[in-house]
Structure 1
Amino acid sequence: MRKWHRWLSVFFGVFMLWIAVTGVLSQVAVLWPSGAPDAAAQAAAAPPPGFECPEGWRCMPPRGDAGGIRSLTGLFHHLHSGESFGPIGTLISVLSGLTLIFFSISGLWLYVQMWQNRKSRSLNPRWFWK
């Protein structure tokens, strides 16, 4: 298990770093303040004439013009999902997600094995050790 954990991390570590950075950037872009004045924000919040929110739905007012970093949200999403690099990029993105699941499970497995090994050698089986 340790060998697989080590070898997969060499290859997929770069892709997972890419996915992590672009995912953070896409969220920062969405949460970034728009800097629009209050009057413009209120005007943009008005629904178009004749629009009714369907029953049972919570309708959000439109955000108005997405300027600055918010306009890059779509680009960050395409980079994050690998769509910008075609089918190979999407495949690598999916494989990176699967390896992230593998790293989570195998890392926990390795930790439990080390903890049991310390316990069997009559060492202090603390949760964290040096």
Structure 2
Amino acid sequence: MRKWHRWLSVAFGVVLLWIAITGALSQVVPMYLDATLPKAAPAAQADGKPAFVCPPDYMCRPKPKEGDPRAWIGTLHHLHSGESFGPVGVVIATLAGFSMIFFSFSGLWLYISMWRNRKERNLKPGWFWR
């Protein structure tokens, strides 16, 4: 198992780093932009009522205009999901997601097996060791 864990981590490490960075940016950028952009006044109809009222449980945003920094949010999503690279990118992003599941279970399995091995040899007990 250790050999598979090591080799797959080399193969998928770069892709997982890409997914982690673009995923984090796709969450942080909207928070930053919402705090820095001025709030627009709601449009009014001829009779003075608002043209659109956002439902209370939703956060409504207008579609970004050309040159608006909020357009980066969609680009980040496409980079994160692999859609920018076509069907091959989506397949690689999906495989990277499956590899994260594999790394979680295999890493836990490796840790437990090393912990049991140390316990059987009567070495230093504990959760962390050098």
Interval containing the TM-score (normalised by the shorter chain): 0.7 to 0.9
CA change 1:93–1:61 in 2 (3 A) is closer
Q: Distance in 1 between matches of 2:43 and 2:26?
A: 23
Q: Compute the displacement of 1:25 (Å).
A: 1.3
Q: Distance in 2 between matches of 1:81 and 1:22?
A: 9
CA change 1:51–1:24 in 2 (3 A) is closer
TM-score, normalising length: structure 1: 0.81
> How does 1:27-106 map onto structure 2 within 5 Å?
27-34=27-34, 35-37=36-38, 41=39, 43-44=41-42, 48-49=50-51, 53=55, 58-62=57-61, 65=64, 67-68=68-69, 70-106=70-106
Residues 2-23 of structure 1, C-alpha deviation per residue, up to 9 Å, x if partnerless?
0100110111111001111111
2:9 is equivalent to residue 16 of structure 1: no
Residues 103-125 of structure 1, C-alpha deviation per residue, up to 9 Å, x if partnerless?
01000000000000000001122
Gap regions ≥5 residues in structure 2: none
- Paired letter, 1:18: W
User: Could you say which residue in structure 1 is the equivalent of 2:118?
Assistant: 118
Q: Compute the displacement of 1:24 (Å).
A: 1.2
Q: Distance in 2 between matches of 1:120 and 1:15?
A: 38
- Paired letter, 1:60: M
CA change 1:49–1:10 in 2 (3 A) is same
TM-score, normalising length: structure 2: 0.81
Q: Distance in 2 between matches of 1:76 and 1:42?
A: 24
SS in structure 2 at match of 1:43: coil
| Aligned Cα root-mean-square deviation (Å) | 2.5
CA change 1:45–1:15 in 2 (3 A) is farther
- Paired letter, 1:43: A
SS in structure 2 at match of 1:126: coil
CA change 1:15–1:61 in 2 (3 A) is closer
SS in structure 1 at match of 2:106: helix
Gap regions ≥5 residues in structure 1: none
Identity rate, percent: 54
